[in-house]
Structure 1
């Protein structure tokens, strides 16, 4: 039987479980499970491949959690059978936080067709969709990374923009973390405010209003950060869903800033 699923799929930022179920059989989409390996082995979406977030992060100059270089990234995701043209859907069971960090990494290296599964594994299970516990073994592919510098904020870049009132810093950590220290000028808005069990990304008018009250508006370039660039990735995608066009994530986040500013 010939599939009526198009071979070219524009995923957008987020897809839901019903959409993914309807598109799985075509074999066009690469589904990545960002949960810990033991959870993946207990059961996962059919055909999904386990991806380890920390396999595409590394320590540099005393700062942990930074994105790996292009060659390391290309080697790892190529082993997962992914090229830069492969449509990729990523899921977890942590409100999309791990999936968002991985999706941002793909985007940083030029992948324009990557999405996060809304509701993640819990939503898939809740709908009674089929699962499997055997590990998928993909054919190795060649991934050709193309760095997109517009997605990342660095320590140097932030210093260069310090007097730019069209750049706003959004600290998405907890209040107790913020009170211990933050980047000058950053406003606090906890990442968890933008998620729920049913919807990983609450792109609502109420959220838009909350952010606007803090000076986070679409006419500015927004930089999200947290402790090590995981929670910040979630808010990065929330802002994208809200229609913000210029958003960066500070990869090193507070872990890097606090080290470099102390030198």
Structure 2
């Protein structure tokens, strides 16, 4: 079990001990790939950890973009968090219905907005339920709460910046997708995208960082996974994936290792795979 750290990752035991803390805010950020057959909001309505609010990754996003769930503006983030009663002085814990999956994206999003008192629940809702801990089906009463944000632009990269990094080779570009999608031997789940990967990028499937029960490996295990993927942790890193969700699991792991110089490519393959003028590597 990974060591509890309220700025990165906390255990189910830690959460149960702190569940009634007045300044704890719990977010169910479950999200699944299109075609998975799972409805995260319906699952939340049926059962969630007591006090959890539902964080809709597809709605709390920049809907003006043609790309899926791109990071929202600071103004929209403030509006949604105030309405959910999440604000300054709160310790936020985010979980999802897969273990560690989409929760890491919301952890990264809070950090992008300058909020660092935020952690992912290790093992998520599956572990919480497997241990027989309390659940409920009632949504919490929400009270407006003031929140201030300070967008940390260094934590996100756009397509121009990633293209420059790929050309210069001055960053480790780490792709969290499956080996087959990275190699271009598996079709992309989103129609119309080319197959392959960003030239010069390294493949580290996000699942490699997790145990079978959905909890994150300890520091030794994480370092071994990055090393096996050929990643030099002394170099600045940019993470990427299909649409900027599982890439955040890599960012969470890097933060667990005490690394600070890492950013997330928000458009990820949903953007890169769409433009024919961007080079694609295979194999």
* TM-score using structure 1 length: 0.89
User: Which residue is equivalent to 1:31?
Assistant: 26
Following TM superposition, by how much is the alpha carbon of 1:120 offset from its aligned partner in structure 2, in angstroms? 1.1
User: Which residue is equivalent to 1:6?
Assistant: none
Residues 159-218 of structure 1 show CA distances to partners (whole Å, capped at 9, x for unaligned) of: 333454441101111223222221111011211111124352223434423422433122
Secondary structure of the residue aligned to 1:170 is: strand
Would you tell me which structure has more helix in proportion to its own residues? 1
Alignment RMSD: 2.0
The answer to whether the Cα contact below 8 Å between 1:44 and 1:133 also exists between their aligned partners in 2 is yes
Matched residues, number: 254
Rounded Cα–Cα distance in structure 1 between residues aligned with 2:70 and 2:57: 11
Return the match for 1:48 from 26, 47, 52. Answer: 52
**Quick check: 24-33 or 238-247, which moved more?**
238-247
User: Which residue is equivalent to 1:218?
Assistant: 233
User: Which residue is equivalent to 2:17?
Assistant: 22
1:81 aligned onto 2:88: no
Rounded Cα–Cα distance in structure 1 between residues aligned with 2:88 and 2:25: 11
Residues 33-62 of structure 1 show CA distances to partners (whole Å, capped at 9, x for unaligned) of: 123121112122111111111122234453
The answer to whether the Cα contact below 8 Å between 1:173 and 1:226 also exists between their aligned partners in 2 is yes
Structure 1 unaligned runs (5+)? 1-9
User: Which residue is equivalent to 1:7?
Assistant: none
Return the match for 1:195 from 200, 204, 210. Answer: 210
Following TM superposition, by how much is the alpha carbon of 1:66 offset from its aligned partner in structure 2, in angstroms? 1.1
The 1:191/1:93 distance shift into structure 2, 3 A limit, reads same
User: Which residue is equivalent to 2:69?
Assistant: 65
The answer to whether the Cα contact below 8 Å between 2:124 and 2:214 also exists between their aligned partners in 1 is no
1:101 aligned onto 2:105: yes
User: Which residue is equivalent to 1:240?
Assistant: 255
Would you tell me which structure has more strand in proportion to its own residues? 1
Structure 2 unaligned runs (5+)? 31-39, 185-194, 279-283
Rounded Cα–Cα distance in structure 2 between residues aligned with 1:235 and 1:108: 15
Residues 115-142 of structure 1 show CA distances to partners (whole Å, capped at 9, x for unaligned) of: 0011111222222222221111210123
Rounded Cα–Cα distance in structure 2 between residues aligned with 1:126 and 1:162: 43
Following TM superposition, by how much is the alpha carbon of 1:143 offset from its aligned partner in structure 2, in angstroms? 2.4
Secondary structure of the residue aligned to 1:53 is: coil
Rounded Cα–Cα distance in structure 2 between residues aligned with 1:232 and 1:68: 17
The answer to whether the Cα contact below 8 Å between 1:203 and 1:242 also exists between their aligned partners in 2 is no
User: Which residue is equivalent to 1:127?
Assistant: 131
**Quick check: 108-117 or 23-32, which moved more?**
23-32
User: Which residue is equivalent to 1:137?
Assistant: 141
The 1:38/1:213 distance shift into structure 2, 3 A limit, reads closer
The 1:86/1:79 distance shift into structure 2, 3 A limit, reads same
Following TM superposition, by how much is the alpha carbon of 1:11 offset from its aligned partner in structure 2, in angstroms? 1.3
Rounded Cα–Cα distance in structure 1 between residues aligned with 2:61 and 2:277: 23
Following TM superposition, by how much is the alpha carbon of 1:84 offset from its aligned partner in structure 2, in angstroms? 3.7
